[in-house]
Amino acid sequence: MSGPAVNGLSEHEVAARVESGLDNRVPDKTSRSLWQIFRANVLTLFIAIVGTSFLVLLLLGRWQDALFGLAAAGNAVIGAVQEFRAKRSLDRLAVLDAPRARVLRDGKILEIATADVVRDDVLVLRAGDQVTADAAVLEAAGLEADESLLTGESDPVDKDPGTDVLSGSIIVAGHGKARVVRVGAESFASRLTADARRFSLVNSEIRNSLNRVLRWIAWGVLPVGLVVINGELQARGGWQDAIATGAWTAAMVGVIASVIAMVPLGLVLLTSVAFAVGGLRLAGHKVLIQELAAVEGLARVDILCMDKTGTLTEGGLRFEAVHPLTTAPDHGWQQALGWFATEPEANATARSLAAAFEDDGGFQSVSYVPFSSSRKWSGVTFGGSNGTTPTWILGAPEMVLAPAGHAEVLEQAGELARAGLRTLLLAGADGLPGAGKSATLPDGLRPVALLTFREQPRSDARETLDFFRAEGVELKIISGDDPRTVAAIARRVGLEVAQGFDARELPEDPLLLEEVMASNIVFGRVSPDQKKAMVAALQRRGHTVAMTGDGVNDALALKTADLGIAMDSAAPATKAVARLVLLDGRFDRLPEVLAEGRRVIANIERVSSLFLSKTAYSIAIAVTFGLLQWPFPFLPRQLSFTDGLTIGIPAFFLALMPNARRYKPGFLRRSLWFSLPAGLIVASALLALNAIAPSAGRTTPETMGSAAVLTLSVVGLWILAVVSRPLNAGRVGVLAAMCAALVIMLNLPLAQEFFILSWPPDVLLMTALAAGIGGGLAIELLAFLHRRKFPR
């Protein structure tokens, strides 16, 4: 393709480029389709097991025993909706906010949609514009671009003819024209966010642990099911008799009851509900949860990485003070500063002077040299009423003054810079500065004053960082700015930092990078790829890493981190990949997130002991009763009854109660250490009941089932009491309500009819209670040993 003429592309040239696919459209897809989301949440092994069992019971006319299907359906719906929301957020991912682009075509300036820009278009750039595609500058008049969203460096970059201006950057000063060289997926912004568009779930220990348990159970379902079905049929006279008499239907119900009891469906559902409620609570504190499991994240984090601009600081510069260099400064220096602040092509630093210095309109410029980041100064000459032409120069001290002549001024400027202040020098002169691209300073410069500017730390930064340090969370500041400036900001928010590490000296060797990350706190001049590598290095050392940021340059690091946190001022791409977004930009929201994460993970660990105990005793009962060729002691509906009273209903309340206990790794190990022995204790109590019951008098399947339900309920409530400790008014209330509900349901005719329950004969009743109390005392001993092994 040939380049554009001076007056831009013609209509025919634009059409040819669109036909060749050289427009600015970006494919709007993530790696996760709706079918993939549906398949991941619905077409799973456990949904197949539960769904098949559900259909079999319906075909057998036993809909009362199919209540477990509701929990499975609820969990599938919550999971699918959660992932669909994440997909929709990623599909909206965009670096470019600009809805329109200004281009030159056929000699006319047109405003067109960003997607309609084509390669070789001439962009007409003005202050405030966001660049819509990578382009090479053709003409420039004081043109400067803010590339902080892309590179993390807050200093505006001078854009002279021949230099590139990147898509996603913002024009902050001057004006110019640029020819588009890369569009669509080839542009810098698109390539930077390509990795961010890939779908990934947050790293959740709770979810990972539950998935591991479910995989273990998956391997055990088939062999356990075979043992149970053989035992059920043998208990009913053998395979031939059971099939001939139709007793196989009752045997099938027993098999389904044993298999469904093994699957902790309620725990998976309750975990999703607890995460969702945590998300709603945080929404009330102006914290958006992009993915429910992210609520857990901050409870596990032991390193918090922060970008400086927009996270520790408010963004932008504030004029701080004037440091006079002479007792008799040239007349009009304050008005000159006011003119520099209000000049249309002023950069952000100069504009910050407007609050302190006012341009009274008394000066008329006769010559002006705009600021350039390469020469780092700007100059103006005013026409005086007495025929004089006073000249003022504003710029970096080391660029304006020759070291030999003004060593003291440069030393003073250096001291201010080491204190974390950006420093400019105002100097007066009588001669005219040279014009054009190779502008030169006039002779006889007289230093008048040093001007200092400061990035304003967030008012909540120090207190929040103190909180994290007190909680044992290590802090790292990772920025694209000068490491000396970043270190100075770190000291202002309470961190003890001698100096920052220049990321341009980071080693490429992964092991050496890990050592550098471990031994330093502040890092400057960090590129987007380096941020991602630095987070990964910390993770390789076993850390759980949270990362905050607001620029597109932070997007890849936020996605790599275990928990990405975006500020309200963040670029759309950064918000889309973050797990949490602080909607009001208040850094002090993070302690609230930490508290909510601790509540969720501590409470889910508490209730997981209930659900996993049920899985353990279900497997133990199924195997032992099957091997002994005894009928499975419960109907599915009776297990739904005991599950609701001893696990499901109380677990829901326990999962939502306050809990400020600090998180410790090893959630699954602690839960299983209690749950497995507890399950064996429950199974032993039921085995004892079934072994002793025949000698306790005449029994029927209905009375034996009722006795088994009573024994299981007593031991289950005892487990609930142990898991609820330390007890408070709320937990005691839940426990008392469940005990009362058990007594009521056992005496309610409608419940007795539906669940096929009745009060056992006196001797069998006493046997059931004795087995339950014996199991409860064994649970107390287990709880004592568990506290000794895992002290809180």
Partners of 467 in the β-ladder: none
Distance CA 558, CA 577 (A): 7
**Within a domain: 35:** no
CATH code of the domain in which 664 resides? 1.20.1110.10
**Pick from 263, 296, 258: which is nearest to 279 by CA?**
296
What does the DSSP assignment read for 220-264?
A: HHHHHHHHHHHHHHHHTT-HHHHHHHTTHHHHHHHHHHHHHHHS-
CB 734 within 8 Å of CB 654: yes
**Within a domain: 85:** no
Tokens representing residue 715 in the block: 């031991």
Distance CA 766, CA 774 (A): 12
pLDDT band at 151; cut points 50, 70, 90:
low
Residues 395, 306 share a domain: no
**Within a domain: 406:** yes
Residues 765, 718 share a domain: yes
CB 662 within 8 Å of CB 602: no
Give the least confident one: 372-381, 462-471, 640-649, 747-756: 372-381
**Pick from 304, 585, 587: which is nearest to 470 by CA?**
304
Tokens representing residue 731 in the block: 């937990």
Partners of 424 in the β-ladder: 451
CB 744 within 8 Å of CB 757: no
Residues 556, 487 share a domain: yes
Tokens representing residue 127 in the block: 């202050």
Who wins on pLDDT, 223 or 32?
Answer: 223
Q: How many CA atoms lie within 13 A of 351 on its CB side?
A: 11
Domain range for 662 is 264-279+599-789
Residues 524, 423 share a domain: no
Distance CA 640, CA 573 (A): 46
Query: Does the structure show a pLDDT above 80 at 750?
Result: yes
**Within a domain: 57:** no
Q: At what angle do helices 729-747 and 649-656 cross, to 10 degrees?
A: 170
Residue count (the chain): 792
The span from the first CA to the last CA of the chain, in angstroms, equals 70
Domain boundary among 163, 182, 201: 182
**Within a domain: 727:** yes
* Res 434: pLDDT: 65
Q: How many domains does one find in the chain?
A: 4
pLDDT in tens, 233-289: 777 777 777 777 777 777 777 677 677 777 776 677 677 777 767 777 777 788 877
Q: How many CA atoms lie within 13 A of 270 on its CB side?
A: 28
Q: Which range among 321-325, 365-369, 436-440 has the greatest average pLDDT?
A: 321-325
Residues 153, 105 share a domain: yes
pLDDT in tens, 62-100: 766 666 667 667 667 766 775 676 566 545 544 444 457
Give the least confident one: 1-15, 18-32, 188-202, 549-563: 188-202
pLDDT band at 627; cut points 50, 70, 90:
confident
Q: What is the CA radius of gyration of the chain?
A: 36
CATH code of the domain in which 467 resides? 3.40.50.1000
Query: Does the structure show a pLDDT above 90 at 676?
Result: yes
* C-alpha pair distances (Å), 11 with each of 14, 17, 32, 99: 5, 10, 38, 21
Average pLDDT, integer, range 131-141? 88
pLDDT in tens, 463-521: 889 988 888 889 999 887 768 778 888 888 888 888 889 888 999 899 999 999 999 99
Q: Which range among 571-585, 707-721, 747-761 has the greatest average pLDDT?
A: 707-721
Residues 365, 480 share a domain: no
252 CB burial (10 A radius; 0-12, 13-18, 19+): buried
**Within a domain: 82:** no
**Angle at the Cα of 267 (from 261 to 270), degrees rounded to 5?**
135
Distance CA 312, CA 491 (A): 11
Q: How far is CA 609 from the centre of its chain?
A: 27
H-helix or E-strand spanning residue 131: none
Q: At what angle do helices 701-723 and 729-747 cross, to 10 degrees?
A: 170
Distance CA 662, CA 359 (A): 58
* Res 780: pLDDT: 95
pLDDT in tens, 37-69: 677 667 666 677 777 777 877 777 776 666 666
What does the DSSP assignment read for 470-524?
A: HTT-EEEEE-SS-HHHHHHHHHHTT---S--EEGGG--SSHHHHHHHHHH-SEEE
Distance CA 33, CA 593 (A): 31
Distance CA 130, CA 148 (A): 12
**Pick from 180, 134, 150: which is nearest to 8 by CA?**
180
Give the least confident one: 146-160, 550-564, 594-608, 742-756: 146-160
- Cis amide linkage into residue 4, ω under 30° from 0: no
Give the least confident one: 458-467, 574-583, 698-707: 574-583
- 47's CB contacts (< 8 A; 6+ apart) are 72, 76
Query: Does the structure show a pLDDT above 70 at 28?
Result: no
Q: Which residues are part of the catalytic machinery?
A: 307
* C-alpha pair distances (Å), 321 with each of 34, 170, 426: 57, 28, 13
H-helix or E-strand spanning residue 287: strand 287-289
Residues 424, 472 share a domain: no
3-state secondary structure 121-168: CEEEEECCCECCCEEEEEEEEEEEEECHHHHCCCCCEECCCCCEECCC
**Pick from 347, 201, 288: which is nearest to 580 by CA?**
288
pLDDT in tens, 390-404: 889 998 887 888 655
Domain boundary among 551, 567, 593: 593
**Pick from 374, 447, 440: which is nearest to 411 by CA?**
447
* Res 289: pLDDT: 75
CATH code of the domain in which 124 resides? 2.70.150.10
* Res 597: pLDDT: 78
**Pick from 418, 350, 354: which is nearest to 172 by CA?**
350
* C-alpha pair distances (Å), 675 with each of 183, 618, 683, 769: 58, 12, 12, 22
**Pick from 612, 617, 782, 777: which is nearest to 683 by CA?**
617
**Within a domain: 76:** no
* Res 288: pLDDT: 77
CATH code of the domain in which 344 resides? 3.40.1110.10
Percent of the chain scoring above 90 in pLDDT: 16
**Pick from 733, 738, 704: which is nearest to 719 by CA?**
738
Partners of 395 in the β-ladder: 377, 425
CB 314 within 8 Å of CB 458: yes
Residues 533, 495 share a domain: yes
Give the least confident one: 342-346, 638-642, 649-653, 744-748: 342-346
CB 294 within 8 Å of CB 580: yes
Tokens representing residue 668 in the block: 């699954």
Tokens representing residue 182 in the block: 């890369």
Average pLDDT, integer, range 171-195? 79
pLDDT in tens, 513-572: 999 999 999 998 787 778 889 999 999 998 989 998 876 667 778 878 888 888 877 766
pLDDT in tens, 306-337: 877 767 887 667 888 999 987 777 778 888 89
H-helix or E-strand spanning residue 193: helix 188-193
Query: Does the structure show a pLDDT above 50 at 3?
Result: no
- Three-state secondary structure call for residue 380: strand
Residues 762, 647 share a domain: yes
127 CB burial (10 A radius; 0-12, 13-18, 19+): middle
Q: Which DSSP symbol is given to 344? A: T
Determine phi and psi for 7, rounding to 5 degrees: -95, 15
Residues 616, 756 share a domain: yes
Average pLDDT, integer, range 295-304? 81
Distance CA 531, CA 526 (A): 6
**Within a domain: 78:** no
* Res 451: pLDDT: 92
Average pLDDT, integer, range 110-114? 86
Residues 681, 610 share a domain: yes
What global pTM score does this model have?
A: 0.61
Give the least confident one: 74-88, 105-119, 433-447: 74-88
Domain boundary among 564, 593, 622: 593
Helix intervals (H) in 33-110: 34-41, 45-59, 68-91
- 178's CB contacts (< 8 A; 6+ apart) are 122, 123, 125, 131, 135, 136, 137, 138, 165
Residues 759, 700 share a domain: yes
Tokens representing residue 424 in the block: 């400019």
Average predicted confidence (pLDDT) for the chain: 80
